[in-house]
Amino acid sequence: MSDDVRPGFIAGRPIHDGRIVRLSIDTVRFPDGSTGELEMIRHSGASAVLPALDPFDTADPRIVLIRQYRYASGGYLLEVPAGRPDRTGEPWEEVAHRELREETGFLADRMDPLTTIYTTPGFTDERIHLFLATSLRPGERALDADEFVEPVTMGFAAALDLIRDGRITDAKTICTLLFADRFRRGLASM
């Protein structure tokens, strides 16, 4: 863990190094000068993408979400397509393009960055890079063996209603949809 460059990092004691996360107990120096131990989950990060089938400046563009089985949530969630890099240093836009194709079967001629979010900064460094995909064309899906995913097409307004009604509960999806609604809707360049 000595490669950590976070302000305040003193030392890390590895606990688990898995396929998706690394868990350690870190000794840190807090802003007041005191020290303590914190549990830390390190994650490669991910890209998430909102696929728009219609120009995004139309009244109610059709979008594609996925209905994905998530063991940790106890069932299926509606989400934007997302995934981790296949290799260290893979560009986030490239990850977004790949995950869009693998999980929905669509290819995007345009992939615009929206923002980057920390998922749960109290205990992990995981960041998800959010994108808007437009000018879609058909491709072929290629799911991983442990992915159980079904694409779902709906109007953008219906997706926002599902957030309001508590039926979309996935944080990255909520952030992506609300960010796109607040900061990207109505832009002629979309």
Going residue by residue through the chain, which has 190 residues, state the pLDDT in tens, using 9 for 90 and above.
Answer: 445 668 899 999 999 999 999 999 999 999 999 999 999 999 999 999 999 999 988 889 999 999 999 999 999 999 999 999 999 999 999 999 999 999 999 999 999 999 999 999 999 999 999 999 999 999 999 888 888 999 999 999 999 999 999 999 999 999 999 999 999 875 534 4
Domain with 171, as residue range(s), is 46-183
Q: How far is CA 148 from the centre of its chain?
A: 17
Asked whether residue 63 is assigned to any structural domain, the reply reads: yes
Asked if residue 80 and residue 39 are part of one domain, the reply reads no
4 part of a folded domain = no
* 2 lies in some domain: no
**Which class for 74: exposed (0-12), middle (13-18), buried (19 or more C-beta within 10 A)?**
exposed
Domain contains 50? yes
Q: What share of the chain is helix, strand, coil (3-state, %, to 5)?
A: 20, 45, 35
State whether 20 and 93 are in the same domain: no
Domain at 99, CATH number? 3.90.79.10
Same domain flag for 85 and 16: no
Radius of gyration of the chain (CA): 18
Q: Indicate yes or no: pTM above 0.85.
A: yes
Let me know whether 75 and 149 are in one domain: yes
Task: Please state, in angstroms and rounded to a whole number, the distance separating the CA atoms of residues 109 and 135.
Answer: 5
